[in-house]
């Protein structure tokens, strides 16, 4: 697709094009999603196609100079906008929209109607009373605005947001822009923007944001309002992978509702994996129980249309919780757990689904080395070798020496995953301290601000590491009101 810049406009003319003839709405912000069709939240690009399901495939970034490394080259400055070196999210520069109304934009031509695109970016403001906006408009051949889509940022530290939209009939161009109105006179900062064409659902890669859903599965299947609440929360938080707890009732009695749920998630670009697991399943005497659950999911997928199928099986089998056996002979328990994975991956072969498990952050300790099938190496390495991807339970809220401990603790797992062509998704905890087992494990007391800071730090640190498979949050927790859904915006901070 050919990109071109329109002739420089005055600030007033630019905003007239941006917001249409009606101008700004009465609240002073750009009209948000009132004209948007098919809003969907996803993120990222794919570098992995081994799942056999509808994988999210994104094309090239259509935005020229998306990180403002070349100052405002290819952007038309509508006023009060400049490239600055601080604060930037990625690279050396970002765009700053200074006090007062301002913005910049560029137009991309050759855009068809009925095609889905993904807009994403990072933004922040110097005062939370202001809002920074990244937007994209569907334009006709005469630059008339047909539909709008926006990302809005009102946090003082960079946050990532992403939305998908489908171009409406008559679309010939897309106008991408950054914008801030006068508000309280603060600055807005935007960086690392992306606009890409897409098809399919989220793959496991660096742009994943996953969320576990446990008790709420039943209500989300049986109650349309609860389902809408879950999907809206996922949209608001940029969640693009749902790790959905599944039992036999969900797969049988709730079969129709489950298919509808998965289809609805896929329409929004959200990957859905079937979660199950008990600590005993990793022990030889109980292998058949866990394998039966996998078989149930395979059977379900066999009766489902392509849009209704699970994208993966995700099992939470924490064998170290078999405390008596673990403490008496952890080497034997580790071997039993690895044997289970070998059986599970053999069963999963050819299903078109990925197979993943969760592991704690401390499995990389030297005391967890085991010889299995004649190979002596760390338990975590054996696990990563066998699984399609791994959810790392990097459950700590500690911050010291200018870095989150969760960033440091994921290094060895992600580095090894890069060596063997696998992915590690780094998970943080949000459930209440009593349930979690201690207040240093969870962000429940720190709140959303610190959680978002830690997630952003993990993404920034591992962005260029081939073993990084994004981030995850445990867990939705709406039913009990003790986790992510109910997390306060800000509480006690560690720094």
The predicted-structure confidence for 408-420, as pLDDT tens digits, reads as follows 999 999 999 999 9
Distance of alpha carbon 355 from alpha carbon 24, whole angstroms: 49
CA distances from 12 to 31, 115, 449 (A): 16, 31, 36
Average pLDDT over residues 266-286: 96
The pLDDT-based confidence of 198 (bands split at 50, 70, 90) is low
Does domain 3-199 sit in CATH 2.60.120.260? yes
Helix (H) or strand (E) holding 341: helix 323-348
Contact (CB, 8 A) for 396 and 409? yes
pLDDT over 60 (residue 166): yes
Sequence spans of domains, the chain: 3-199, 209-486
For residue 449, the SS3 value is helix
The predicted-structure confidence for 341-400, as pLDDT tens digits, reads as follows 999 999 998 898 999 999 999 999 999 999 999 999 999 999 999 999 999 999 999 999
Of the candidates 258, 256, 255, 253, the residue with the CA atom closest to the CA atom of residue 242: 258
Percentage of the chain lying above the pLDDT 70 cut:
86
Contact (CB, 8 A) for 171 and 117? no
**For the domain bounded by 209-486, which CATH number is listed?**
3.20.20.80
pLDDT over 60 (residue 169): yes
Average pLDDT over residues 257-284: 95
The pLDDT-based confidence of 46 (bands split at 50, 70, 90) is very low
pLDDT over 70 (residue 84): yes
pLDDT over 70 (residue 97): yes
For 53, list phi and psi in degrees, rounded to 5: -90, -175
Average pLDDT over residues 312-330: 98
The predicted-structure confidence for 287-303, as pLDDT tens digits, reads as follows 999 999 999 999 999 99
Distance of alpha carbon 314 from alpha carbon 369, whole angstroms: 24
Average pLDDT over residues 194-214: 87
Least confident of 30-39, 195-204, 322-331: 30-39
| Cβ within 8 Å of residue 485, ≥6 positions away | 233, 476, 477, 478
Percentage of the chain lying above the pLDDT 90 cut:
75
Tokens (6 digits) for 225: 């309002």
The tally of CA atoms less than 13 A away on the side-chain side of residue 32 is 12
| Cβ within 8 Å of residue 484, ≥6 positions away | 211, 237, 430, 473, 474, 475, 476, 477
pLDDT at 463: 95
Q: Which residue has the higher pLDDT, 53 or 414?
A: 414
């Amino acid at each position: 697709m050919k990109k071109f810049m329109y002739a420089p406009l005055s600030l007033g003319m630019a905003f007239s094009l941006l917001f249409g003839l009606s101008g700004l709405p009465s609240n002073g912000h750009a009209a948000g999603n009132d004209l948007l069709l098919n809003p969907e939240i996803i993120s990222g690009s794919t570098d992995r196609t081994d799942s056999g399901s509808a994988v999210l495939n994104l094309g090239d970034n259509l935005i020229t100079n998306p990180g403002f490394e070349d100052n405002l080259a290819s952007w038309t400055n509508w006023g009060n906008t400049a490239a600055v070196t601080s604060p930037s999210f990625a690279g050396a520069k970002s765009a700053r929209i200074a006090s007062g109304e301002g913005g910049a934009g560029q137009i991309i031509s050759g855009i068809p109607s009925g095609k889905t695109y993904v807009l994403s970016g990072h933004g922040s403001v110097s005062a939370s009373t202001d809002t920074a906006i990244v937007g994209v408009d569907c334009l006709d051949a005469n630059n008339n605005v047909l539909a709008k889509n926006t990302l809005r940022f009102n946090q003082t530290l960079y946050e990532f947001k992403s939305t998908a939209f489908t171009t409406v009939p008559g679309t010939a161009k897309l106008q991408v822009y950054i914008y801030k109105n006068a508000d309280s006179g603060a600055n807005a900062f935007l960086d690392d923007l992306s606009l890409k064409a897409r098809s399919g659902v989220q793959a496991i890669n660096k742009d994943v944001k996953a969320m576990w859903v446990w008790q709420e599965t039943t209500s989300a299947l049986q109650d349309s309002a609860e389902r809408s609440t879950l999907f809206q929360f996922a949209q608001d938080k940029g969640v693009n992978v749902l790790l959905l707890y599944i039992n036999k009732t969900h797969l049988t009695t709730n079969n129709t509702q489950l298919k509808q749920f998965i289809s609805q998630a896929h329409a929004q670009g959200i990957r859905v994996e079937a979660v199950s697991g008990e600590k005993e399943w990793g022990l030889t005497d109980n292998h058949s129980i866990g394998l039966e659950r996998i078989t149930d999911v395979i059977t379900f997928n066999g009766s489902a249309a392509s849009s209704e199928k699970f994208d993966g099986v995700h099992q939470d089998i924490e064998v170290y919780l078999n405390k008596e056996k673990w403490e008496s002979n952890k080497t034997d328990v580790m071997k039993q757990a690895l044997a289970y994975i070998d059986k599970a991956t053999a069963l999963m072969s050819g299903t078109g689904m990925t197979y993943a498990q969760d592991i704690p952050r401390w499995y990389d300790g030297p005391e967890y080395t085991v010889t299995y099938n004649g190979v002596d190496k760390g338990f975590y390495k054996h696990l990563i070798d066998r699984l399609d991807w791994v959810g790392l339970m990097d459950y700590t809220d500690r911050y010291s020496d200018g870095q989150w401990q969760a960033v440091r603790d994921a290094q060895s797992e992600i580095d090894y995953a890069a060596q063997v062509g696998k992915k590690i998704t780094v998970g943080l905890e949000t459930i209440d301290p009593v349930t979690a087992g201690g207040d240093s494990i969870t962000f429940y007391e720190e709140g959303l601000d610190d959680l978002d800071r830690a997630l952003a730090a993990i993404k920034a640190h591992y962005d260029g590491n081939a073993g990084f498979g994004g981030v995850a949050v445990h867990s939705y927790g709406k039913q009990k009101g003790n986790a992510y859904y109910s997390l306060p915006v800000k509480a006690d901070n560690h720094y």
